[in-house]
Amino acid sequence: MEENQIVNNQTSAHDDFDWNVDKRNVASYPKEVREQLEQSYEGTFKTIQESELIQGTVVGLTKTDAIVNIGFKSDGLVSLNEFRDIPNLKIGDEIEVLVLEKEDRDGQLSLSRRQARQVRSWQNVVDYFKSGEVVTGTITSKTKGGLIVDVNGLETFLPGSQIDVKPVTDYDQYVGKTMDFKVVKINEQIRNAVVSHKALIESDLEQQRGEIMSKLEKGQVLEGTIKNVTDFGAFVDLGGVDGLLYITDISWGRISHPNEVLSNGQKLNVVVLDFDDEKKRISLGLKQLTPHPWDNLPEEIQEGATVKGKVVNIEDYGAFLEVLPGVEGLVHVSEITWSSQPINAKEFFKMADEYSAKVVTLDKEERKMSLSIKQLTDDPWGAIEEKFPIDSRHKGIVKNITPYGVFVELETGIGGMIHISDLSWTKRYNHPSEFTKVGDEIEVSILSIDKENRKLSLGHKQLEDDPWNTFESVFPIGSHHEGTVIRKDEKGAVVQLQYGLEAFAPARHLRKENETTVSVDETLPFVIIEFDRNDKRIMVSHSKVWEQSRADEREAEHKANQADAENTKKAVKNIQSKVEKATLGDLGALADLKNKMKNEEEGK
């Protein structure tokens, strides 16, 4: 009971104590009030998200970091290494940062100015790409195929082909330079951008082209600079727009390459020949600034005059000689030589060779001139009969060989053809090249003269008498001769006989006695089976040689057999006669004996 009383006394002693007061004599708020106060406190801070760009203020500096207030519950630290572009960073400076983490492992707010600049730079590059706005960047280094450009902290790629409108080979000269660029390509996934300085130059040039093209007129003379010399002409810079000076419009004379008269960087006046506004093409001329040479042709160049020119063009029908720059004359193939033998102009003439020629025709209005080389000499065909009479003998040079004959030049402008059949009396050639070759000297006889058509018919075999008159008695049909097979095909073989004579043996006449066939280079006896003097043809057979021999043997054997039979028959008859005589004698002797015996008996 006493214990209960003590407890009750204690309880009643503390009923009026305020347990919400802490040791610092500070009262705690009720839960509802606390929540209300916390919400009010939280409302004084910004709501931020990780990877968000946000403005902050530098509120403090240490030896290694800048303390940045972004309006969050706590301040963040940013390394001073990220402020190297701001040498005089101070408290109160406004900067943009990227929220990396609201609380790192140490519970601190993690910020980055460097990454904020990269994100902001990429967003700006994307905007520049979409808008086409010009950006400024600094070339920091060289890389494979181009340069690296820093655009507001973002590394971009500048291809070598996009540095300038002119080809660039030395990239090092651009490192460290600050230039204007245009963003021409982006890759959102890897955040890569390609910039171009060339695009800005082309844009400026396009504007200049428009201004120049609007003022162009045909016949207008402009000053330009040779930009590039090519095989077909030269490109001329007219001050922002290029024109083409084609090779045929450079000089009135022929040139093989524009670099003969033009060089890169050369300044010159040109005339506008034509232009196309839509295609931005301008055709220029240089030779048009001087009069055409045909309009100022010297008086000494007239029909009948002798001129000297250089070969500038060769065609199948002749060659063009440049008498003066821009003045050309044609030497037709028929005016090269007095010879009637066809001449290949491309084999006779060589580019740049010089020739003297006679002006045959001249037409200043048509600007045409025909020339002749052969008319500078007398026509050798005028006295052809006196110099080369029929049956006369001459030596010449083989100039050409065709399947049907050999062309021989006796002297300049005079030549003729030896038909393949007139090469030899005894040998048949499949092609004249088997007999002679180009460049050989050959002796010929004049067979006929065609003065009107400037043709000579020549012969080589006619230098000797026709041996076929003699051959007819040497090689009569049926005679045997030794021959060598020199050629052979499925039809037969060509057999070389004595005196260089060739004969033909049909395939069926090449069979040997042992049933094999005669081979090339084999020497055997042959029999003449046909002799045609008019066609100069002899046909022979080896088979008939041994076939005839066999027949002769059989005939001799047959005759011998007949003789033996006759002899036997005679012998039999002789024997029979002897037998008959012997028999008659015996009978007579017997009769005598009988008579003797009879007489003896009667005498007794």
| 8 A C-beta contact, residue 290 and residue 256 | no
Torsion of CA 516, 517, 521, 524, to 10 degrees: 80
* Mean pLDDT across 103-117: 78
User: Above 90 in pLDDT, residue 307?
Assistant: yes
Q: Phi then psi for 317, rounded to 5 degrees?
A: -90, -5
Three-state SS at 450: strand
Percent over 90 (pLDDT), the chain: 29
pLDDT over 70 at 18, yes or no: no
Whether residue 121 contacts residue 151, with contact meaning beta carbons closer than 8 Å, is answered with: yes
CA distance 173 to 371: 60
Residue 359 has a pLDDT of 95
pLDDT at 115: 80
Cα–Cα distance for residue pair 434/446, rounded to 1 Å: 22
Sequence-separated contacts (24+) of 160-169 with Cβ below 8 Å: 161/198, 162/194, 162/195, 162/196, 162/197, 162/198, 162/199, 163/197, 163/198, 164/197, 164/198, 164/201, 165/198, 165/201, 165/202, 165/205
Residue-wise pLDDT for 62-97, tens only, equals 888 888 888 777 788 888 887 887 878 888 888 888
pTM above 0.75, yes or no: no
Residue 148's pLDDT band (cuts 50, 70, 90): very high
Q: Are the C-beta atoms of 49 and 55 separated by less than 8 Å?
A: no
Instruction: Give the least confident one: 102-106, 127-131, 284-288, 423-427.
Output: 102-106
pLDDT at residue 327 greater than cutoff 70: yes
pLDDT of residue 590: 61
* Lookup result for tokens 């003998």: 393
Q: Which of 467, 425, 463 is nearest to 444 (CA)?
A: 463
Q: Kindly tell me if the per-residue pLDDT of 304 is higher than 90.
A: yes
Rounded Cα distance between 119 and 154, Å, is: 9
Helix (H, G, I), strand (E, B) or coil at 546: helix
pLDDT of residue 493: 92
- 3-class DSSP state for residue 246? strand
What pLDDT shows up at residue 515?
85
Confidence of residue 602 (pLDDT cuts 50, 70, 90): low
Lowest mean pLDDT among 19-23, 135-139, 464-468: 19-23
Pairing outcome for strands 455-459 and 441-450: antiparallel
pLDDT band at 3 (very low <50, low <70, confident <90, very high): very low
State residue 23's pLDDT score.
53
Which residues touch 389 (CB under 8 Å, ≥6 apart)?
Answer: 446
Are 401 and 437 within 8 A, CB to CB? yes
In terms of Cβ atoms closer than 10 Å to its own Cβ (0-12, 13-18, 19+), residue 375 is: middle
Give me the percent of the chain exceeding a pLDDT of 70.
82
Comparing CA positions, the residue from 260, 270, 257 lying closest to residue 225 is 270
Question: Does position 423 have pLDDT exceeding 80, yes or no?
Answer: yes
Residue 163, token pair as written in the block: 């540095």
Q: Would you state the pLDDT for residue 4?
A: 47
Averaged pLDDT of the chain:
82
- The shares of helix, strand and coil residues in the chain, as percent rounded to the nearest 5, are 30, 35, 35
Tokens 């003896």 appear where? 600
HEC profile for 426-467? CCCCCCHHHCCCCCCEEEEEEEEEECCCCEEEEECHHHCCCC
Residue for token digits 């006493």?
2
Q: What is the pLDDT of residues 548-601, one digit of tens each?
A: 777 767 776 677 667 666 777 776 677 677 666 655 556 666 666 666 666 666
More confident of the two residues 189 and 367: 367
Residue with more model confidence, 152 or 561 = 152
Q: Using the predicted structure, report yes or no on whether residue 102 has a pLDDT greater than 80.
A: no
**At 177, is the pLDDT very low, low, confident or very high (cuts 50, 70, 90)?**
very high
- C-alpha–C-alpha distance, residues 312 and 255, integer Å: 8
Q: What is the pLDDT of residues 216-235, one digit of tens each?
A: 788 888 899 998 999 999 99
* Residue 1 pLDDT: 41
Angle ∠(393,394,397) on CA atoms, nearest 5: 145
Cα→Cα distances 564→318, 366, 560, Å: 90, 107, 6
Residue 5: which pLDDT band, with cuts at 50, 70 and 90? very low
Report pLDDT for 363: 93
Query: Per the structure block, which two tokens stand in for 186?
Result: 């982006």
Tell me what the mean pLDDT of segment 301-324 comes to: 93
The more confident residue out of 416 and 16 is 416
Q: CA–CA separation, 511 vs 468, rounded Å?
A: 28
